Amino acid sequence: MANALRDSGREGFLAGDIDWDANNIKVFLYDEGADAFNAADDNLDDIVAGARIATSGNLASKTVTAGVADAADVTLTAVSGATVESIEGYKDTGTESTSRLIFNIDTATGLPVTPNGGDITIVWDAGANRIFKL
């Protein structure tokens, strides 16, 4: 794998079901050892709860300028659990079965990471692509 949009994410953007800067977008630390990455997964309920080591609050300060998705860096507090292999982004509707998975990032400085009970901060790339660019 590589950092990529999920098909459910692409579909959501094209169908107008995902509004990056208006919807609640969250990320979680994904233990792929507990639930292997599956490109066919499309909603949050497709990934077992035990594989979601820590979930962020809503991403803040989201922007969409020039098709580039960006947001403020996000901190997950007091993270403990199994080693995390990737970061998964999704649209939170409040219902797992309708919360679309948007992207998966498995290439990042510091991944994989083993939580130690302390905070984990995700610092988004400050380059041209930020989180991702459509």
Which residues are near other proteins by CB under 8 A?
2-5, 10, 78, 87, 103, 105, 107-111, 113, 115-134
Question: Nearer Cβ to other proteins, position 58 or 95?
Answer: 58
Give me 24's structure tokens. 């609640």
- Whole-number Å distance between alpha carbons of 128 and 73: 16
Place of tokens 């639930």: 35
Compute the least distance from the CB of residue 67 to other proteins, in Å.
9
Nearer to other proteins, 4 or 96 (CB): 4
Residue found under tokens 């998964």: 88
Distance of closest approach, residue 97 Cβ to other proteins, in angstroms? 25
- Of 1 and 49, the one with the shorter C-beta distance to other proteins is 1
Measured from the CB atom, is 47 or 131 closer to other proteins?
131
Q: How far is the CB of 99 from other proteins (least distance, A)?
A: 20
Cβ-contact 82, 53 below 8 angstroms: yes
Please answer whether residues 88 and 47 qualify as being in contact, where contact means their C-beta atoms are separated by less than 8 angstroms. Answer: yes
55 and 47 in contact (C-beta within 8 Å)? no
